[in-house]
Structure 1
Amino acid sequence: MNVLVVDDEPIIRLGLRTLVDWEMHGFHYAGDAEDGLEAVELLESLQIDIVITDLIMPRMDGIALIRELRDWTRPISSIVLSCMDDFTYVKEAMKLGAKDYILKPTMEPESLIDILLGVKRELEAQRNEQREQQIRELELASTKQMQLSNRLQAYLQTKLGEAELQAELFGADAPPSGSAGASASSSSLVSLLLHTSAAVIDWRWTGCLAALPLAADSTLLLLPAAAEQQDAAEDGGVYATAAALERAAEVRLAHAPDWFIGAGVVIRRLADVQPAAALHARQVQERFYSSSWNRLVVHAPEAACGQGHALPFEIRSDLLRCVLHNNSEGYRHHAEALCRKLGEQRHDKEKVLIFIQELLALAAGYARERGCAALERYEELYVNSKALSGCSRFEQVSEVVFQAMSMLMENGLVVGKEPVHRSTNPFIRKVLTYMMDNYASPISTSDMADYVRLSRSYLSDLYSKEMGESLSETLTRIRMEEAKRRLRTGEMKVYEVADAVGFPDAKTFAKTFKRAVGCSPKEFEKNK
């Protein structure tokens, strides 16, 4: 514990500093002062726990100092230094709260340590009691917060208990939800948004009256408007309350990866809560797509994001075809196109996260279907993990997509252009060889059946069961792989490539290529 000695005699201060081994007994001689005024200036900066003070001093004497300590927020104990002729002052000091006294003429190290240890035990007990009382008060307040919050949530779902909740939140004279205006004696609340990507949002420290969860990472808080704000301009009062919460969050959420406070509106009745929730939902949406990292958000555009637009499933399908057909050139192209479209449409954050999570899982399935190896690490990072749950910004979501696609592309997870001979059936292997040798000709399933001397229907059924795809799908895949190989060289025109891989015209080839690979032959050439 830190000890401060206050005496106007330098010899006394020096004597006390050297009289005992402070550290050995669990004390720290933090400093000394010449009088009460100097002592008061040192109390907080030195985090003083015990003051040993003389009584008769200039400017501020010991009695005034002890009276000052009595009003200190943090408990600080005092011990009086006394001479025989000022015992009247000692009695006054003890009445004001001094714990004990030491006579200067007969002061001994042992007696001083005994007194200090007794004061230390008493002070520790007092502080423990104070901490426990604070905990009890916080628990009581937290219980009330939780009860009110649960009742508010239940009311919004069932509309039951309105009168009691209205009175408890806004005062006995608050008007019913459906009426206009507010009584002069009714209370106002301020709605604020607390958004953080922490696993569980703890909002009890905010001092709110009640809270309403909006999403896994967002909570609407109802805070009492300060008395001086009740008649002030609404915007000013809301922003002042939001700024105060922002300052508190900078300390409380210092280690949270991302958080922000959304300034809301003044609420005077229960009917105002749902519009406030809608406003805060727009703030979450705005910041999700914004490039700003401001901790305090005050804007909330009226336009609902994503309305009138379907999620870009077609672009996602194009990207997945790139995975299926090992079109490494199309990975980045379609990933960028997908993220660009999502950024333009500004869909609801939760819908976007689900949409992208499905993409990452489907990509793993398509890669495995194509004969992919070593997918475990990809699935660990992007399918089975919570990589997206930690994304509070759309740019972070885009980065996850690019990283996942790069991993599939750069690590060579997908097999090359040769078809995978997954069957030991001699007819299947023979027809695969026939397709590889004759893909440049206009062959049909009847030609294949004739070659292996089976009926067309029997061969088709056998092949589908064995290979998991139709004869025509395999033939198209073989042709597309060869087409990509020829397009990469840049030595042939598109119509020449079409003819070389068995298509009657460039238009049919381009349509099939787009469907299978995910981009047109021209786009493929540009991105090669």
Structure 2
Amino acid sequence: MIRVLIADDEILVRVGLKTIIPWEQHGFELIGEAANGLEALELIRERGCDIVLTDIRMPECDGLTLIEKLKAEFPGIKCLILSSHNDFEYVQKALQLGAVDYVLKLTMEPGELLDKLIALKERITIENEQQLQASEREFKMSVYSREAKEKRLKELLVKACSPWDVEEFVREFGFREPVEPFYVVTIKLDRYQEELEENRFRSERLLNFTVTNIMVEIGKKYDACEFVEIDNGQFAILTSIDPCEMLTEIGSAVQTFLQLSVSSGLSLPLASLNDMHAGFLQAEEALLHRFYQGYGGIIAYKPDRYPGHIGPQADEEWLKLLELRDEAGVLERLNRWYAVSSTGQEHPDELREQWIRLVHIFANYAAKLGGDLYSIPLHADRYPFHAVRSLETLQEIYDWFTGWTRVYFRYIQQLTVKVWRPEIQAVIETIRSRYNENLKVFEIAKEIGFTENYLSVLFKKETGETIMDYLTRIRMDQARELLKDQSYKIYEISEMVGYSDSNYFSKLFKKMEGMYPLEFRKHVLGRG
């Protein structure tokens, strides 16, 4: 609806204008009437308006003054003059001031006034649409410009770039260089993947958007801060101030509003924007120490932080304890190894690989007894390789491994040379020979001559795992071997082991190995 105000000091004129036009029928809303310009301004400020029908001669504030004030305060309002025959000079002045048209009160016909109003309505509608489109274009350009700036700044941080690249960035985006010295900070959401899997925030994008908004709002209190989203729950900040107070406030806000913790890595003071990438690497290296320090801290970069090399425990010592079935001895050795390694002398990546090696030792011994690492019941819903590769702190790995060790010993105590019942052996042979097919439990049961429910319960009782878990394990065994051959694409391997959906295959693989198939291939071939 187009909002209309009538301003005239003659009450009969106001009453007449209100009654001779079917306002609502033609899309107009009368917001009120005024006896002078001051009353009109008060009503407009209170209710808003699109068209003003105003007399020229009014007490206190006449029509010309009203038009001038509206032009200054509400330039979008259209003024239609109500004039008398002897007001010609005033009408000319009103038109010069911005009035769009006029009508003579004494000779005015309802149809003439309505036509002028409808024309004004169409003009206002077009102008509003144009203004909306212009606003949308301006908003999009602002968003695109901001996104382009953030993308380029991210590249300068993450990749090694030349001084010319930095100069071009500053020039193109009018980037305000931070006062020297400045810092690069990396902030990472703790337990990020777990939070995504729990799906409390509905989407990864929404979670990162919320965290970014929190950082930006807090950053407004601190001068010369630039925020950039990196990926996987990680963000970067460029700041000219000592960031510890700001980072503490960000951590507190994220904990309060999202019930999440964040850890931060802090570079050394930097002297030039050309040092951005080096500063980012320092902040990343500092953040790695979260592996030892735990969650929620602010960690400053220290050169040569990891001078020592503890080295892996001797395989023979572990094997001896396993062969003796000495669960207490294994747990005691784990505790001693953890106590030595938790001093933080060794690079986290190297120590994590030593835990991976320990998993291999346990796996090889289970295989020697006829078992399989992936048939061991899960502990805390994690497979061993996935746990060691995905848990983010040494404390978490140690806690998980000690819990899993108890599960492991119960498993190997049950491992004996066992002759399966004929129907169980038939299921195993069917799966091993046809794992690449779209096997269904009810089809296997039908072939053997049992009901699906009975066979499922029997298989679980005999083997300790479900039929589908066994099928998944066999498929993943084959996938690990196929991944060593680079001639196969990931989607081809997925189909070769029985999965038509390669994304689903990749997610299952990561749940067991702690890395996606392509990462596993690079890791195995690189290590080899």
Shorter-chain TM-score category? 0.3 to 0.5
Q: Which TM-score applies when normalising by structure 2?
A: 0.44
